[in-house]
Amino acid sequence: MVWTIHYELTQSQIISKLGYLFLILAIIFLLILVLKRIDFFKKVKKIIKIKKKTTNIILLSLSAIFLLGFLIFFFMCVKLDNQTTVKVQEKILIIELDDWWNMQDTGEYLGDFGYTFERYREVTDIIDKYGFVATIGVTPYIFIEQTGENIPLSEDSEMIEYIKEVSNKGYEIGMHGYNHCRNSFYCPAYEEIWFNIFQGKREIENLFGKPIFSYFPPGNAWTTEQYENVKKAGFIIIGNTHVPKAYFDEKVIITPRGYDPIYHYGWYQLDFRHTDYEDWIKAYNKDNLFIIQLHQNTFDSNKKLDDLDKFLSYVKKDGAQSMTYKEFYDYIKKEKNEKSVTGQAIIKF
């Protein structure tokens, strides 16, 4: 039997880890130089018969070499980061609306959590009021915990018509996972299976008669297998990842996790607490690219809807451009940002 271990690192991770290794080695040799007067090092010097001056030169040389190595790797990491960073020169807002799925057959299970057409429309009406657009997170199936079933979106004609309606207004249809199931206690790892990602994308495209380009994971949860499957399936922009800012990965753009105003997910208490819109504005003002992640079912009060209205009013007055994920991708490609391969190393033992 042969055991194989796959340890995967991006180029930036390799450079970073090597840099810190060299820094640690430089510090170790400097410490040896400082502490060499203790008995242990005196005995070592007698055994190998190295003069004090020679010892100092060796230790200082090794420290300098590894410190220089650290600086080289540090600047390589900075250069790679700069090459792969998506440069955003003006204020852009991306609105992500999660959880568009079959509600016709799931009302008995999901209705109590605020999944109603009225709730959906209250949110999209406010977005439409300001002439903004959004990317909606569609899943070809929805997993119902109580029954263990995957219920297809294709059976819900009302939701399909509603998605077509907002799509005709300029909203983008994106994929929000195969069936939104991420809980390891009651569902398999659906997103880690290539066929699910590939087939799910095809089903959504056939359902609405148009290609889809954007993917953002259910539960904001990523694994390497899922990420590779998503890229392989042909998605060109991937949202809600773990990166601190938007990057190129070959021809794909990956973006950071969006700002989610929900700070308390009380699913079983039906208690969804939002931050106030002033906090949304503070987050919005930090960077040129601002992605806000909204769950319509949690807008269960006029106060929350008013916060969304006031926030979008602020953004409108600020002159920011509202884009879908795909529009953002096209905008960046048009700007001709420099791209670089982030790469991946697979080390086998």
Nearest to 120 by CA among 97, 137, 138, 142: 97
Q: What percent of the chain has pLDDT over 70?
A: 84
Name which of 34-38, 59-63, 134-138 the model is least confident about.
34-38
Domains of the chain: total: 2
101-116 per-position pLDDT tens digit? 999 998 888 888 889 9
Residue 349 falls inside a structural domain: no
* pLDDT given for residue 44 in this prediction: 54
| CB contact at 8 A, 291 and 241 | no
Residue 339 lies in a domain: no
> Which pLDDT does position 348 carry in this prediction?
37
> Does one domain contain both 255 and 295?
yes
pLDDT at 266: 78
Residue 340 lies in a domain: no
155-166 pLDDT, tens digit per residue, is 999 999 999 999
If asked whether residues 96 and 119 sit together in one domain, one would say: yes
Identify any residues that bridge with 273 across adjacent strands, giving them in sequence order: 264
**Same-domain pairing of 128 and 206:** yes
Q: Predicted confidence band at 339 (pLDDT cuts at 50, 70, 90)? A: very low
Q: Are residues 161 and 73 in the same domain?
A: no
Residues 160 and 267 in one domain: yes
Q: Is residue 345 part of a domain?
A: no
Could you give the CA distance from residue 110 to residue 137 in angstroms, rounded to a whole number? 17
| Claim to verify: residue 98 and residue 14 sit in the same structural domain | no
**Residue 218 shares a structural domain with residue 315:** yes
Which of 84, 101, 127 marks a domain boundary? Answer: 84
Confidence of residue 247 (pLDDT cuts 50, 70, 90): very high
Per-residue confidence band for 349, with pLDDT thresholds at 50, 70 and 90:
very low
Is the domain of 70 the same as that of 159? no
Asked if the structure places residue 1 within a domain, the reply is: no
Environment class of 226 (CB within 10 Å of its CB; exposed 0-12, middle 13-18, buried 19+): buried
- Classify residue 347: in a domain, yes or no: no
Do 256 and 321 fall within a single domain?
Answer: yes
Structural domain containing residue 31: 6-84
Domain co-membership, 41 together with 176:
no
Distances (CA, A) of 25 to 9, 113, 167, 258, 313: 22, 55, 57, 38, 54
SS3 99: strand
- If asked whether residues 192 and 264 sit together in one domain, one would say yes
More confident residue, 141 or 108: 141
Q: Does residue 270 share a domain with residue 139?
A: yes
Within-domain flag for 232: yes
- What is the rounded average pLDDT of the residues 168-174? 98
Closest CA to 216 of 125, 138, 151: 138
- Domain holding 153: CATH number? 3.20.20.370
Q: How far apart are CA 131 and CA 151, in angstroms?
A: 33
- Of 84, 119, 147, the last residue of a domain is 84
Mean pLDDT of the chain: 85
Q: Tell me if 319 is assigned to some domain.
A: yes
CA distance 145 to 141: 13
Q: Which among 26, 51, 84 is the end of a domain? A: 84
